[in-house]
Structures are given as C-alpha cells and as structure tokens.
Amino acid sequence: MRRLKTFMLLVAGLLVLLVQSSPSAAASSTEKFTFSWKVSPAAPQPWNPDDWDVVVHSRDTQTWGQLEPMQAQHGADCSPYPATHLVSTYEDSVFLCRNHMMTAINGGGYAAIYFAPNRMVDFSAGTASIQYHVSTARTSGRDWHDIWVTPFEENLVLPLYRFPDLQGPPRNAVHIQLAGDNTFIGNVFHDFVNTDLPRAQGEPYDKYLKLSAITRSDFELDISRRHIRFGMPDYQLWWIDADVPDLGFSQGVVQFGHHSYNPTKVDGGTPGTWHWSDFSISSAVRFTMLRGSRQAVNEGTTSVVCFPGAAPAQSWLRFAGVGQIEVSFDAGRHFAPATAAAQVGPHNEGSPQVGLFASYWMPAPAGASSVVFRGQEWWGGPWWVRDPAIWSRSTDPVAPPAACPKNVSVGGSSASKPSAAGAAAAPGDDIPWLTAAEDRLRLLAHRLGRRNLEVLILGAGLVGLLAVATLGFAVGRRRRRRKVPAG
C-alpha cells in the first residue's frame, strides 16, 4: 500500500509540474497597442489589411454583389469634404485618404461594416482603456457607429442587437453605441440576457463641440470585470460610468461597427461617412488572424479560399454565411456542414435563421491553409459566404501555406464524413475532421486559457496509467494472498 501511495503522489506531482511549466498554461504577454494610417494616396484607396478583420454586409439580396450607390466624403482626388466621390462596391466602402480611414455605406434595408484588430483588450490585471478618434458630424440619425468587446471563443463576425437582421448578439459581451441624439448608450450581455447600462450623463456631444466631418474627436472605453466607463475624456463627458456584475471574462475581441438603416427615411437624411484614426488599447494581447484570399464566395465564384499561412494549433474557421453551407479542408475530397456560432436571432426563433446571415465559428485543423465551400440556396435567394478567415489564440510563428488547390470539384451537396482510410489518404495531412468529443475538448481548452491540448491529453494518459498500475497492484496482491498456505 505504501508503494501505491508513493506512485500516486509521483503522478500527481508530474501533473502539477506539467501544468505549471507548459507554455500553453502560461499567461499571454500583454502590450500597449497603437495604430493609425500614415498614407496619403492621390485617390481613395480601398483598405484591405492583413492584421485587421474587415467585413461589409448588406441585408437585401439584390445588394449582395454590389452595394447601393452613395456619395462618400472626400473627392475623387482625396480632397476634403464637402467634396465627395461615388461608392458602389464592397471594396470601395472602406478606404484611405489623407492619413486616415473612412467607412461609407448606404443600407436601404440595413447594412453594416465591422473592423477589428488582431489584438484583444486584456483587463485581467485591472482596468484597460480602448481609445479611438472619429468624426462627429452626422448626415442621418439612422446612421451610427458602435463598439463590441466579446470573449474570443464567443465573438461573432456580424453582431447586432435590436434590429431586424442578422442573428443577434454574442452570448457574453459589452456593447456601446451612438444613439440618435448624439449621446451614447450601453448594455452588457450575460448568457444572451441583456442588461442596459445606466446613464451617468445625458448631454449630447454637440453641446461641447462643433460637429465636424474633418476633425476626429477622442472617445474612450474603460473596462474592467466589474466597471464600465465610456465617454469623451477631453470634455470630461462620460455617458456611462457604472458598476456591473462580474463580466465573467477578462480578455475580449474589440470590434468597431458602422451601421446604416435606411438613412434617407429621415427628412434630409443621406448615407453617412465616418472618419477614423488613432486607435489604441492600453493592455492588449495579440492573436493570429489569417484573412482569406476572397471576401465573398457563392455559386458564381471559385469555391476555394486560400490563406497566407498554415493554421497553427487550436485554430478556428470564422465567416458569415447564408444558406446551407458545407466546408472541406482537404481540397474538396470530404465535406461536412459548417458549424454556426452561438447566437440568438432577432425574433427569438432560434439560430441560425433562414434568410439572415449567420456567424460561423468552427475548429480548423492545424496546418490547413485553404478551405473549399459549397452550399444550397435558401427559399429567397442564393447561398453566400463573407469574410472567411482563420483565427487562433496561438502567437507561434505561422508556417508557410501549402500550394493553393486548383480545379477543385465540389461534387454534390450532401455532407459526408471521411472514413479512417480516406482521412489517411494524403500523407502528412492532419485528419480533416474532428469528432464531437474533440470539439468539446478544444473548446474546454480555450476556456481554460490553454493554447493546445497536449497538457490535457498527457494528463489523461497519466490518469490512465495510474488506473492500470492500481489494477495491476490489486491483482498482484490478490494472487499473493492465494499462494499463502492455509494455517
């Protein structure tokens, strides 16, 4: 019995040592993140970065290929407002001029632009601050901007709340948005339940400054697990300054949004342009972001999307889509249904809802550097994929991508999982699909703050070894008792 106790203590010590010394258990390093644009092109230049996620969405099916036209601020030679130029394509709706970035979109039914850096805000050690500069002039009360802070595993490509589009808010998040009266409102989500944040001040910002499409003013979100503050520090104007129940998370993806909801419905209203610059996060954690080679995939485009590097361990495929979507990580040999992120639709009918773009978030095998999409149309329109990307908490160097597949046949539309033989057909490739149990382990590992599953797997192996040793000890002891002659 003494030997058994000694063995058990040894195994327990090894487990503790592995968890404490493993790089996957170490806290991610934080840094101050600052970003702005230092380019002054001769004409409006589309912005398509590799270290920010940028997605443009429009609700009405007739606008999925081309946006409703609008006159965006800055002239065709980047001359300042009131000069304008025509924008009608997805690529041109996010553009650079005069050392800053503009978002311009016209949503007759509803439209949005979201952009997010490859940095999470980290407030595990206390309050962290997110600051950005944006113009203050508005051309319609139905055109506004907002900011979301969401746990990494729960982020949505297109989050939305209180409007009749998309699939609703994330499970847990902090949300701040510009209201129609030039004030800001905020709310917090806990397991999809919304709590509106109380107002600390109610004055509109035009009481303190002259509205301008040229001058970009400073806005600041201070966030901790138990307190939220938002306002304009230069004017000591804080619309939100409230204690909150523990958020339940201490790192979050930061997404900035521009929304347009039939802006001409207001008398004199016109589609809006917002001017952005000088972003900063006081305490930030970097993550890997691999943006796809195509920002839209549908029946009329190539089905293959390639990435600029190979997915590191514990990666996720992230995109927005409508219709019945299937994906393949092995050049179209095997397909499986895409997995939607957790989200609740605007009509509380469950998600994802047919006919509304949903956010997708599913494990991507390590080493994957391309994905093939196929789909089925829904009753009111075609299937469509937007903004495919691979995200990972890992910050290890990204390996070069494999050659991008060509002449891929997507075959039929029924999903099929590969057999073990099929999965092993390509030497050196990872098994293209994970079992449901592995999916759960991967999600568990993320929520525990682990960057890979090695510690969990090794721990399980040691526990199994302990069980075998215990069984062997018991069997041996029983045999020895049988050999003792009866006295």
Q: Could you tell me which residues come within 8 angstroms of residue 73 by beta carbon, excluding any fewer than 6 positions away? A: 81, 82, 83, 84, 102, 104, 213, 273, 275
Domain endpoint, select from 262, 286, 310 = 286
Confidence of residue 350 (pLDDT cuts 50, 70, 90): low
Domain-embedded: residue 222 = yes
**Comparison of pLDDT for 28 and 437, the residue scoring more:** 28
* 3-state percent helix, strand, coil for the chain, nearest multiple of 5: 20, 35, 45
User: 10 Å Cβ neighbour count for 192?
Assistant: 15
Task: Decide: 199 and 242 in contact? Cβ < 8 Å.
Answer: no
Span 437-442, average pLDDT = 40
pLDDT for res 3: 54
Report how far residue 338's alpha carbon sits from residue 360's, in angstroms, rounded to the nearest whole number.
7
pLDDT for res 447: 39
Transcribe 90-139 into DSSP letters. TGGGEEEETTEEEEEE--SS-EEEEEEESEEEE-TTS-EEEEEEEE---S
Span 226-240, average pLDDT = 98
Task: Look up residue 86 and give its two tokens.
Answer: 């025509």
Number of domains in the chain: 3
Residue-range definition of the domain harbouring residue 97: 40-286
Residues 282, 302, single domain; the answer is no
Span 11-22, average pLDDT = 42
Domain-embedded: residue 135 = yes
Query: What are the Cα distances from residue 314, in Å, to 103, 363, 446, 449?
Result: 33, 7, 8, 12
Residue in 193, 360, 160, 171 with CA at minimum distance from that of residue 261: 160
Domain endpoint, select from 230, 253, 286 = 286
pLDDT for res 400: 96
Task: Decide: 385 and 375 in contact? Cβ < 8 Å.
Answer: yes
pLDDT for res 10: 47
User: 10 Å Cβ neighbour count for 113?
Assistant: 23
Residues 332, 427, single domain; the answer is yes
Residues 250, 395, single domain; the answer is no
Residues 116, 237, single domain; the answer is yes
Query: Does the structure show a pLDDT above 50 at 431?
Result: no
Residues 338, 382, single domain; the answer is yes
Strand partners, 255: 148
pLDDT for res 455: 46
Range in 5-19, 78-92, 221-235, 247-261 the model is least confident about:
5-19
Domain-embedded: residue 52 = yes
| CATH number for 195 | 2.60.120.200
Residues 250, 310, single domain; the answer is no
Q: What percent of the chain has pLDDT over 90?
A: 74
Task: Decide: 312 and 394 in contact? Cβ < 8 Å.
Answer: yes
pLDDT for res 409: 79
Domain-embedded: residue 444 = no
Span 7-11, average pLDDT = 48
Domain-embedded: residue 56 = yes
Residues 174, 218, single domain; the answer is yes
Query: Does the structure show a pLDDT above 80 at 320?
Result: yes
| CATH number for 368 | 2.60.120
Domain-embedded: residue 322 = yes
Q: What is the end-to-end Cα distance of the chain in Å, rounded?
A: 24
pLDDT for res 477: 59
Summarize pLDDT for 286-303 with one digit per residue, the tens.
999 999 999 999 999 999
Sequence letter at residue 212: S
Sequence letter at residue 319: F
Query: Does the structure show a pLDDT above 60 at 66?
Result: yes
Query: Does the structure show a pLDDT above 50 at 132?
Result: yes
Task: Decide: 257 and 272 in contact? Cβ < 8 Å.
Answer: no
Residues 7, 106, single domain; the answer is no
Residue in 76, 136, 142 with CA at minimum distance from that of residue 107: 142
Domain-embedded: residue 486 = no
Residues 266, 335, single domain; the answer is no
Strand 94-97 versus strand 227-232 pairing type = unpaired
Query: Does the structure show a pLDDT above 70 at 388?
Result: yes
Residues constituting the chain: 487
Span 43-53, average pLDDT = 97
pLDDT for res 86: 98
Query: Does the structure show a pLDDT above 70 at 469?
Result: no
Residues 179, 264, single domain; the answer is yes
pLDDT for res 436: 36
Query: Does the structure show a pLDDT above 50 at 422?
Result: no
Report how far residue 442's alpha carbon sits from residue 438's, in angstroms, rounded to the nearest whole number.
6
Cα atoms in the Cβ-side hemisphere of radius 13 Å centred on 470:
10
Domain endpoint, select from 239, 261, 286 = 286
Task: Look up residue 221 and give its two tokens.
Answer: 């979100």
Confidence of residue 428 (pLDDT cuts 50, 70, 90): very low
Report how far residue 50's alpha carbon sits from residue 46's, in angstroms, rounded to the nearest whole number.
13
Residues 254, 327, single domain; the answer is no
Residues 262, 371, single domain; the answer is no
Strand partners, 386: 296, 320
Domain-embedded: residue 26 = no
Mean pLDDT of the chain: 85
**Comparison of pLDDT for 65 and 411, the residue scoring more:** 65
